[in-house]
Structures are given as C-alpha cells and as structure tokens.
Amino acid sequence: MTEALPFFVLAALILLGAVRVVASRDLVRAVLWLGVVLVLTAVMFLMLGAPFLAGMQLLLYTGGVITLMLFGVMLTRRHHEMGVEIDNSRRLPAALGSAALFVAMASAIVRTELPVWSSPIPVPTVEIGRAILTDYLVAFEVLSILLLAAMIGAIVLGRQRDFDEAPEPLLEKEGRR
C-alpha cells in the first residue's frame, strides 16, 4: 500500500486540476490549470515506465499546445466582456449525464477481473523507434501528411484577406434583419 501512495497523490492532483480546468471562470486560469494537468500526466507517464512519452508530452503539450491556447484566449477576448458567462444554461444536466457515465464505467471496471501488476518495466526508446519505422511506417507517414494538411489549413483559415471578402454580406444581412 505504501508504495502506491505516490500514485494516489498524483491521481488526486490530476483530478483536482481537471476540475479546476472546467470550473474556472477565467479562461487564462483554465488554460494554466490544463498545463498543470498535462505536466502531472507526464509525471504519471514516468511512473508508468514511459519516459519517452513523458518527454513528448512536455515538449508538445506544455510547450506547444498551452502556448497556442494562451494566444487563442488573448486574441479572442475583449475587455468589456471579462466577466461574461462562459457556461451555458445546462450545467446541471451536463453534470448528471457525466456522473451517470462515470458510474456506469466505474461499475464495469470494478467488476472486471483485472490483473495487478506491481512495477512497470520502462520500455526503451529504441523499441518505440523501431516499431514506428517498421510496423507502423504507413501510419507514421500518413500522420506527417496530416500535420502538413493541418498546418496549411490553419494558414488558409487565418488569412486576413479572405475574411475581408467573404463575411461582409453576412454582416449586412445581420444589420437588415
């Protein structure tokens, strides 16, 4: 039991951070709490014997995604709506639904016979690299094409010129109605 204590502390911290992500009124705070959750997840990967994944998680998520999210929050915020409600009016049904889903999943997990394994063996990074470049080579190449497509898509969506041409009729229509 005592060797499992760090795991339970870590799990409690992750869940606490996740609750703060969805409960924060301020979006910047929510993004920073998400960063906490993602860093703690990297620690969890280390405990699970996946050091390479922990590094990937830190580099890509906390380095890339959190920064992008902060930019997104700050670009889409105006000063006079700092206190605007970010929730919709269906908080109680949402809470009930997700709690019901959790109860269903948890009861299924508790009833299933799962083996107990004590100490995870770290997987050497060489194995992962070999698996990616042999068994999963096609998926890996498709993934690189997908990343390229996402990059081009983001550039096309973010271009200012297209915006100036396209939505003007929309705004006029809004004004007439």
Partner 1 sequence: MTVQALLLLTSGLFCIGIYGLLSHRNAIAMLLSTELMINAVTINLVTFSQFSGGVTGQVFAIFTIALTVAEVVVGLAIVILLFRWRREIAVDSANDLRH
- Return the residues of window 62-81 that contact partner 1 according to CB under 8 A: 64-65, 68-69, 71-73, 75-76, 78, 81
Q: Is 90 in the site for partner 1 (CB under 8 A)?
A: yes
Report in angstroms how near the CB of residue 97 gets to partner 1 at its nearest: 7
Q: What angle do helix axes 137-158 and 125-133 make, rounded to 10 degrees?
A: 80
Site for partner 1 in 105-144 (CB under 8 A): 105-106, 109-110, 112, 114-118, 120-121, 123, 127-128, 131-132, 135-136, 139, 143
* Window 16 to 55, contacts with partner 1 (CB under 8 A): 18-19, 21-22, 27, 30-31, 34, 37-38, 41, 44-45, 47-50, 52-53
Give how far Cα 24 sits from Cα of 17, 18, 121, Å. Answer: 10, 10, 37
- The residue behind tokens 């997840």 is 41
Q: Please state the φ and ψ torsions of residue 120, each to the nearest 5 degrees.
A: -65, 140
Kindly list the distances between the CA atom of residue 127 and the CA atoms of 93, 102, 123, 139, in Å, as whole numbers in the listed order: 46, 35, 7, 17
Among 158, 165, 175, 176, binds partner 1 (CB under 8 A): 158
